[in-house]
Amino acid sequence: MSKRPLPDDLSVETLSIRAGQLPTDEQSHSEPMFLTSSFVYESAAQAAARFSGEEEGNIYSRFTNPTVRAFEQRLAALEGGERAVAFSSGMAAIVATFFSLLKPGDHIVSSRSVFGTTNVLYDKYLSKFGVDTTMVDISDLDAWRSAITRNTKILFLETPSNPVAEVGDIAALAKLAHDNNALLVVDNCFCTPALQLPLELGADLVVHSATKYLDGQGRCLGGAVVGRDPEISEIFGFLRTAGATMSPFNAWVFLKGLETLSLRMFAHSAQAAELARWLETQPGIERVFYCGLPSHPQHEVAKKQQKAFGAVMSFRVIDSDGNADRQAAWRFIDATRIMSITANLGDTKTTITHPATTTHGRVPAEQKVLSGVTENLIRIAVGLEGLEDLRKDLARGVQALGHNIKD
């Protein structure tokens, strides 16, 4: 890669390809992959200088690896943050954020519809260390406000949420957080920086599961936190200690994935919008949840803070005998031939899931209802196959419910 410095003010498209330069003497054009656990020094004195921090440079790949660093720099540039820290998974990034910034007695206010495992983190682990969480409706600003206590240190949300695509107003929540000396943390997994820039809207930290759209082809697990100091230094310190490190191989895959990020996100969004509009007109589809639809309750907020509406949508089904239950949902899913029946998302391959018995299977019943996860709900994450083929695949589902397709 070139050692010439990049100009300022580059677009997301250019940054996703060019940011995170990794100069080497071999002049490799593609980013080199440093598959090494440790680094060597010219002398004992240099080793000492590296370890004391007097001299900058690589030490050990648990916390300093050039390929991982290039991924961090590229993602930080894309999100408009000062610095990013990469992790072995999205959950590792979320755990590190909470454990490095909170202490016993601190309080989190979180939107109710978060990734299922984030819920488990609140209920089972953070609570054990004396950190309590209050869950609120993502779109109800008054609920956020009244949940805040003297001990609230973090407001956390995922927008649009999984699986019913609820949207939180990032700018309004950032103001609310700052008026109360708290930080706003946004899980930007579903939009990515190609579609939404939470830091620009006032958020303090962005967390990612790189496993999803940053990779984009379902190959590797990874995660990251983006923001500024002093928070990022704290989180980096936690990584060095906890060791939930991103592998250099995965970082290299993510660097390659990022290069097509904007192209993919707009293509995913365009296909999803078409299918959402079509599903809304079909019999047996009780309701479609997609923030790109004018019928979506937070469509205006989504339009204000996102460049497009993403690939994830869900819908409730009802069969021709009037059953709106698990059997109807499973029949729909089992009738598809192209879509992958899997809980993952963020892939070129379209995925179809029954949230109530998979991603949200461990969520308590009452919370499931509040999150909109009914037995007849199906989630799809629209991939990049041909649009007509996907439409026909969904038509197979509608027909399996005993309905005739409407043209």
Ligand X SMILES: *Cc1c(COP(=O)(O)O)cnc(C)c1O
| Interface residues toward ligand X, by CB under 6 A | 89-91, 115, 158, 162, 187, 189, 209, 211-212, 221, 223
C-beta separation of 189 from 72 below 8 A: no
Write down the least CB distance from residue 78 to ligand X, Å.
17
Candidates 165, 15, 162; CA nearest to 77 is: 15
Q: In the Cβ-directed half-sphere of 403, how many Cα atoms lie within 13 Å?
A: 26
Helices 261-280, 387-400: crossing angle, 10 deg rounding: 40
Write down the least CB distance from residue 330 to ligand X, Å.
23
Whose Cβ is closer to ligand X: residue 84's or residue 395's? Answer: 84
Whose Cβ is closer to ligand X: residue 135's or residue 189's? Answer: 189
Whose Cβ is closer to ligand X: residue 156's or residue 278's? Answer: 156
Residue whose beta carbon is closest to ligand X: 90
Write down the least CB distance from residue 220 to ligand X, Å.
9
Residue type, 278: W
- In whole angstroms, give the CA distance from residue 348 to residue 328: 27
Sign of torsion over alpha carbons 141, 143, 146, 150: negative
Maximum pairwise Cα distance, the chain: 79
Write down the least CB distance from residue 373 to ligand X, Å.
15
Whose Cβ is closer to ligand X: residue 209's or residue 374's? Answer: 209
Write down the least CB distance from residue 89 to ligand X, Å.
3
Contacts of 295 (CB under 8 A, 6+ apart): 280, 288
Would you call 41 exposed, middle or buried from its count of C-beta atoms within 10 A (0-12, 13-18, 19+)? middle
Write down the least CB distance from residue 92 to ligand X, Å.
7
Q: Cβ atoms within 10 A of the Cβ of 71, count?
A: 31
Write down the least CB distance from residue 223 to ligand X, Å.
5
Cα distances (Å, whole numbers) of residue 116 to 137, 162, 356, 387: 16, 9, 11, 30
DSSP assignment of 263-297, as one string?
Answer: HHHHHHHHHHHHHHHHHHTSTTEEEEE-TTSTTST
Write down the least CB distance from residue 119 to ligand X, Å.
11
Alpha carbon 244 to chain centroid, angstroms: 18
Whose Cβ is closer to ligand X: residue 106's or residue 158's? Answer: 158
- In whole angstroms, give the CA distance from residue 229 to residue 61: 22
